[in-house]
Chain A
Amino acid sequence: MQLYNQISSVIFDALYAPFGHDFPAFDLLLWPVLMGVVALIVFKYVSNQGAIARVKKQIAMHLLEIRLFSHDIRQVLKSTLQIVGKNTIYVSHNLLPMIVMLPPMGALMVQLVTHYGYAPSEVGAVELLHLELDPASAQLAGDVSLKLPAGVSLDAPVVRTADGQVYWRVRADQPGDHVFEIAVGDEIFEKGWAVGGEARKIPVKRLRSAEALLYPSEPAIPSDAPVVSIELETLTRPLAFFPDGEGGILLWSFGVSILAALALKPVFGVTF
């Protein structure tokens, strides 16, 4: 998980934002289209194109049967069952290319969100920094301490809950890419906070679970750590001409790549 995030970050940090993060349109248009093209190429060489074409024809044939023999209920039922069966075969032919495409596509979309989905907090903003301990380590809540970076102050006393959650209300006094140091027993965990300045890749949350794949801007929490998550409320970056936020960018990039693949399918001679 951590290795995957590191690799994808190295690649996409180099590729994205060639003109800076103030021009999201370039990446949000280019990369989903390229992703669609790559998907077509992968489909062409990884999938069994002949088998896919064959099973599609068979499905079409059974659909025609239903239309022609709609008065014969037994034939309609038989054709319907055959369509279900052929569809299963069709999906199975698509599985391999989809599995091959999933890691790069996922990385590409998640990195787009990481680069363009969030805005830095404003100077003066007050946010909640939240650390969740593993239930088995909830008793460590009393031993959790926070070291504030310069430019950030504590706005209220800490709250430790009975179920192992720790909350700090922090205030951004100065702009910068601040890093909190949170000590849990002997271990130190870092958490970033982007405040002020230009649009950029923004740290959101650190997680121990597989969900960390969605937040590659900071390292995942090691699986044997007593901490489950460290989060800081992050602003959604408004994008003038594109859907914004995590869901908006994911849907946009997926939709554009599908449309690009459909449009370019004849050019690449791909069947799917």
Chain B
Amino acid sequence: MSPRTAQHPIARTILLAIVCVVWLLPGVSRARAAGESGVFIVGVDGMDPIITQRLMDEGKMPNFTKLAGEGTFQSLGTANPPQSPVAWSNFVTGMNPGGHGIFDFIHRDPANYHPLSSATPAVEDPGSGFHFFGYVFPVGAPEMKNNRGGTPWWDVLVDHDVDVEVYRIPGNFPNPPSEAKVLGGMGTVDLRGGFGTYTLYTDTVVEKKNPKGDVEYVTVHDLDLDGVPETVTSTLRGPPDTFHLEPGEIPTANQYLTQGVTVHIDGDTDTAVIEIAGQRTLIQQGEWSEWLEVSFDALPMGLMPVAGTVRFYAMELRPKLRLYASPVNLSPASPAMPITSPDEFVDEIYQNNGFFYTQGLPEETDALKDGVFDDDDYLKQVGLIQQDTHRMIDLALDRFETGDATFVYLSDIDLQSHMLWRHGDPKHADAPRHPAYRRDSAEKHAHDIENFYRDVDATLGSVRKRLPKDTLLIVMSDHGFQPFTRELHLNAWLRNKGYLVMKSGKKTGYFVTDDVDWSKTRAYGLGFNGLYLNLAGREAQGIVDAADADELMGQLIRSLEAYRDPDGGGRVVRRVARGSEIYTGDRAVEGPDLVVGYEKGYGCSDESTLGEVTEWVIEDNESRWSGNHLMDPEVVPGILLLNRKLASDGHDLTDLTATVLSYYGIEKLPGMIGEPVL
């Protein structure tokens, strides 16, 4: 257009009209224009700023060093408590737990003091069952919902016409409906509806009492009578046999659908063929099989097949048998329940990548904790997950276009820091040996955690090579890590201090078996960091008046913060925060009254977390679960690395939510508490 034309009154009017129309278009176009280069976020669960900085200084993370030089590397404030579901929910919604309602892995039901998973709200009415020829057909069963409140940032972006893809985001199962393409991660269940139950087929006694997986004791038969036993038949448990369960009934061991498994072990070689559901795989001793798709019939004549995927690991075939089956994952080819939004997104991933781990936390930590796996077995399985992760990141990069917003998630560092810290503290060079340290395995695995950091660095390098240069690249973690050497049985401490009272004649027991005298109990612990008052009018058998609550909380705070470890005199609890002071939002009332922030090295025991009152108050953590972050948030910040220079530090997870929205020119929603970092 020439200057002369532009000065013409009609031309100016038309031009003005066009400008007005463009301006008045819904924020969608403006959002797209504002963030036109797009944003790519790499979420690294559990990446610690001190370890990262050390490895960068030692030249072991060159891609991090390079990006930090071009942009910014700093620590990132985590959630309180610094637990993954809480922290990721902070990032997803831009709220603290008072807004999104996820306060811990474990919540409590005030009606009966029982522990509940935080992923889904408590079911008050499971519906009823219609009985027909021995089958129970559920009627009026409640829809499974995600307990997380607030609005995920991806929904806001999609509303503003931004294409969003999110891979393996924690805490998104059950999948809330969304126009964004979202694959849920941590919290996504296996086919049994739990967080992953393995099966071990063996003819050898397993030493661990009450292992978390199924141990199937089998006999290796000599069917051809040649003197060499070679054939094993057993079953693999799949989903609960829903049509033989009353609504809300918890299945017993025999109330799961099963598939027959036959194992043919060759008489001359350490090799076997496994047959299940019409499929066969041949594996050698020490090998994992590929994924096998297994169908379980919930109704006769194949009227309702439920598909899952499983892979086998031949730990030992001869002379003893130890054959491991992974938890049965929801099949991405035909998931029995939605694992993505929209439902079709999983097809797109499956068509590109084939079968993959759909279980939220696929690292088989239970097998390692139970002693079924040794470190080598465990790391071999972690390698399979890494292959999945790298394929998924490649897919995300293939699909990324300028202007898009994409999030990818890496679980390696978190789980491996939990499991392998005992071999050598990667954060504190002068740290004493972990109680679970064993010289034989430590020598081989002392640098494993470091290697996972280096793998993330290599991943960052490949991401950078493929991303357009002006794309906003954010690498962030939800929290850092510390050793976990001593565990506090908080409920035992409360008992010894007189806040929790057992029924007469009992010193130990469980909340779920009603061993606590609630009529005399003033406070109890549930969850990894939660401490609740037994408040009258809120708890079913509450005795603490609202007027006395503040004074009682003050007593508890002083007493817990003053408590010293009888072994060495160290401080056990760094800070106890009042829920009312740290949580804002409509759901703050659902949270614990006090949040216990443990000192580094300390944490709440699993027993106390689930409402057990033990004899001992504090003891060494002998478990292979040897690193942790369920402490005071100040001792476990996460990391923030991005390709932009920042003028300030001291940011936290909720600031990243505001940053992503602001990058696209979108105002944060009411209730979002963060501020943009850019």
- Kindly list chain B residues whose C-beta atoms are within 8 Å of the C-beta of A128: 280-282
Q: What distance in Å separates the Cβ of B260 from its nearest Cβ neighbour in chain A?
A: 15
* Distance from A149 Cβ to chain B, minimum over Cβ atoms (Å): 19
A130 contacts B by Cβ under 8 Å: yes
Residues of B within 8 A of A130 (CB): 280
A165 contacts partner chain B, Cβ-Cβ < 8 Å: yes
B202 to chain A, nearest CB (A): 20
Q: Complex Cα distance A128/B280, Å?
A: 8
Is the Cβ of B264 less than 8 Å from the Cβ of A169? no
CB pair B282 A169 closer than 8 Å: yes
Q: Is A91 an interface residue (CB 8 A)?
A: no
Q: Are A157 and B231 in contact (CB under 8 A)?
A: no
CB atoms of B269 and A162 under 8 A apart: no
A contact residues around B283 at 8 Å (CB): 156
Bitwise interface map of B from 263 to 280 toward A, beta carbon under 8 Å scored 1, else 0: 011111111110000001
* Bound form: Cα–Cα A256–B505 in Å: 81
- For residue B230, which residues in chain A have a CB less than 8 angstroms away from its CB? 161-162
Asked if A161 contacts B231 (CB within 8 A), the reply is: yes
B223 CB–A CB distance under 8 Å: yes
A157 and B264 contact, Cβ closer than 8 Å, known pairs A128-B282, A162-B230, A167-B280: no
B259 touches A (CB below 8 Å): no
Establish whether residues B223 and A160, one from each chain, have CB atoms under 8 Å apart when the complex forms.
Answer: no
Q: Contacts A157-B266, A157-B284 hold; do A162 and B231 have CB atoms under 8 A apart?
A: yes
Are B264's CB and A156's CB within 8 A? Answer: no
CB distance from B291 to the nearest CB of A (A): 13
B266 lies within 8 A of A159 (CB): yes
CB neighbours of A211 from chain B (8 A)? none
Task: A130 to B275: give the CA distance in the assembly, Å.
Answer: 12
Give the residues from 250 to 303 in chain B that come closer than 8 angstroms, CB to CB, to chain A.
264-273, 280-284, 287
A22 at the interface (CB under 8 A from B): no
Chain A residues positioned under 8 Å from B266 (CB to CB): 157-161
A228 CB to closest chain B CB, in angstroms?
Answer: 16
B224 at the interface (CB under 8 A from A): yes
Q: Is A163 an interface residue (CB 8 A)?
A: yes
- Chain A residues lying within 8 Å of B282, measured Cβ to Cβ, are 128, 156, 159, 167-169
Asked if residues A159 and B272 are in contact (CB atoms below 8 Å), the reply is yes
- Choose one: B264, B267, B281; the contact of A165 (CB below 8 Å): B264
For the complex, what is the distance from the CA of A213 to the CA of B183, rounded to whole Å? Answer: 45
A138 to B271 alpha-carbon distance, docked (Å): 19
Q: Are B271 and A156 in contact (CB under 8 A)?
A: yes
Please state if B284 and A167 are interface contacts (CB–CB under 8 Å): no
Query: B264 touching A158 by the CB < 8 A rule?
Result: no
Are A167 and B231 touching (Cβ within 8 A)? Answer: no
Most buried by A among B222, B266, B282, B287: B282
Q: Please, which residue of chain A has its CB at the minimum distance from the CB of B280?
A: A128
- How far in angstroms is the closest Cβ of chain A from B468? 31
Which partner residue on chain A sits nearest B262 by CB separation?
A: A161
Please give, as numbers and ranges, the residues of chain A lying within 8 Å of B222 by CB-CB distance.
162
Q: Is the CB of B271 within 8 A of A159?
A: yes
Q: Per a CB cutoff under 8 Å, which of A139, A162, A168 touches B264?
A: A162
Given known contacts A128-B282, A156-B284, is B223 in contact with A167 (CB within 8 Å)? no
Count of interface residues, chain B, beta-carbon cutoff 8 Å: 21
Q: How far is the CA of A220 from the CA of B282 in the complex (A)?
A: 26
**Distance between Cα atoms of A167 and B272 in the complex (Å):** 9
- Whole-angstrom distance between the alpha carbons of A161 and B284 in the complex? 15
Instruction: With CB as the reference atom, state the residue of chain B lying closest to A163.
Output: B223
* Cross-chain contact B224 with A159 (CB below 8 angstroms): no
Query: Separation in Å of the A223 CB from the closest CB of chain B?
Result: 26
Interface string of A167-208 (1 = CB under 8 A from B): 111000000000000000000000000000000000000000
B269 touches A157 (CB 8 A): yes
A155 CB to closest chain B CB (Å) equals 8
In the complex, A157→B282 CA distance in Å?
9
Tell me the B58-81 residues at the A interface (CB within 8 Å). none
In the complex the two chains form, is A162's CB within 8 Å of B224's CB?
yes
Docked complex Cα distance between A159 and B263 (Å): 11
The A107-164 residues at the B interface (CB cut-off 8 A) are: 128, 130, 138-139, 156-163
User: Quick one: which of B223, B268, B281, B284 contacts A162, CB cutoff 8 A?
Assistant: B223
- A156–B224 Cα distance when bound, in Å, is 23
The answer to whether A161 touches B271, judged by C-beta atoms less than 8 angstroms apart, is no
A138: B residues at CB distance < 8 A: 224
B231 touches A159 (CB 8 A): no
Residues of A within 8 A of B287 (CB): 156
Chain B positions within 8 Å of A158 at CB level: 266, 269, 271
Q: A167 to B280, alpha carbons, bound, how many Å?
A: 10
Q: Which of B264, B269, B281 contacts A161 (CB 8 A)?
A: B264
Structural contact, B273 and A167, CB atoms closer than 8 A: yes
| Given contacts A130-B280, A167-B282, A159 and B223 within 8 Å (CB-CB) | no
CA distance A169 to B283 in the complex (A): 9
Nearest chain A residue, comparing its CB with the CB of B274: A159
> Across the interface, which residues of B come within 8 angstroms of A167, CB to CB?
273, 280, 282
Contacts of A139 in B (CB 8 A): 224
**CB-based contact B271/A157 at 8 Å:** yes
Residue from A158, A161, A165, A167 with most neighbouring chain B CB atoms (10 Å)? A161
CB of A170 to closest CB in B, whole Å: 10
Query: Which residues of the partner chain B approach A162 to less than 8 Å between Cβ atoms?
Result: 222-224, 230-231, 264
Minimum CB–CB distance from A78 to chain B (whole Å) comes to: 36
- Does the CB pair A159–B281 fall under 8 Å? no
Can you name the residue of chain A whose Cβ is closest to the Cβ of B270?
Answer: A157
List chain A residues, Cβ under 8 A from B269: 157-159
- The B219-239 residues at the A interface (CB cut-off 8 A) are 222-224, 230-231
Determine the distance from Cα of A254 to Cα of B262 in the docked complex, in whole angstroms: 38
Task: Looking at the assembled complex, report how far the CB atom of B351 sits from the nearest CB atom of chain A, in whole angstroms.
Answer: 10
* Distance (whole angstroms) from the CB of B281 to the closest CB of chain A: 7
Give Cα A167–Cα B287 distance, bound, in whole angstroms.
16
B646 to chain A, nearest CB (A): 46
CB of B264, distance to nearest CB on chain A (Å): 4
Residues of A close to B271: CB separation below 8 A:
156-159
User: How far, in whole Å, are A128 and B270 apart by their CA atoms in the complex?
Assistant: 17
Question: Using Cβ atoms and an 8 Å threshold, which residues of chain A touch B265?
Answer: 159
- How near does chain A come to B311, taking the closest CB pair, in angstroms? 14
What residue of chain A has the Cβ atom nearest to residue B229's Cβ? A162
Distance in angstroms from A245 CB to nearest chain B CB is: 14
Please, how many angstroms separate the alpha-carbon atoms of A139 and B223 in the complex?
12
> What are the residues of chain B within 8 A of A168 when measuring CB–CB?
282
What residue in chain B is nearest A161 (Cβ atoms)? Answer: B264
Docked complex Cα distance between A130 and B266 (Å):
14
Which residues 21-47 of A have a CB within 8 angstroms of B?
Answer: none
- Residue in chain B with minimal CB distance to A138: B224
A162 to B266, CA, bound (A): 9
**Which residue among A139, A158, A162, A163 has the maximum number of chain B CB atoms within 10 Å of its CB?**
A162
Q: Which of B192-244 contact A (CB under 8 A)?
A: 222-224, 230-231
Hey, what's the 0/1 contact readout for A232-254 against B, CB within 8 Å counting as 1? 00000000000000000000000
Q: B residues within 8 A CB of A165?
A: 264, 273
Q: How far is the CA of A161 from the CA of B272 in the complex (A)?
A: 9
Q: Min CB distance, B284 to chain A, in Å?
A: 5
CB proximity of B347 to chain A, nearest CB, Å = 14
Tell me the complex Cα distance, A104–B272, Å: 43
Q: Please, how many angstroms separate the alpha-carbon atoms of A156 and B281 in the complex?
A: 11
Q: Give Cα A130–Cα B279 distance, bound, in whole angstroms.
A: 12
A159 to B287, CA, bound (A): 15
Across the A-B interface, the 6 shortest Cβ-Cβ residue pairs? A157-B269, A162-B224, A162-B223, A161-B264, A159-B266, A169-B282
Cross-chain pairs A/B with CB under 8 angstroms, 12 sampled: A130-B280, A139-B224, A157-B268, A158-B271, A159-B265, A159-B266, A159-B272, A160-B266, A160-B268, A161-B264, A162-B223, A162-B264
Query: Could you list which residues of chain A lie within 8 angstroms of chain B, going by C-beta atoms?
Result: 128, 130, 138-139, 156-163, 165, 167-169
Q: A156-B287, A159-B264, A162-B264 known; 15 other A-B pairs, CB under 8 Å?
A: A128-B280, A128-B282, A139-B224, A157-B266, A158-B266, A159-B266, A159-B271, A159-B272, A161-B266, A161-B273, A162-B222, A162-B231, A163-B224, A165-B264, A167-B280
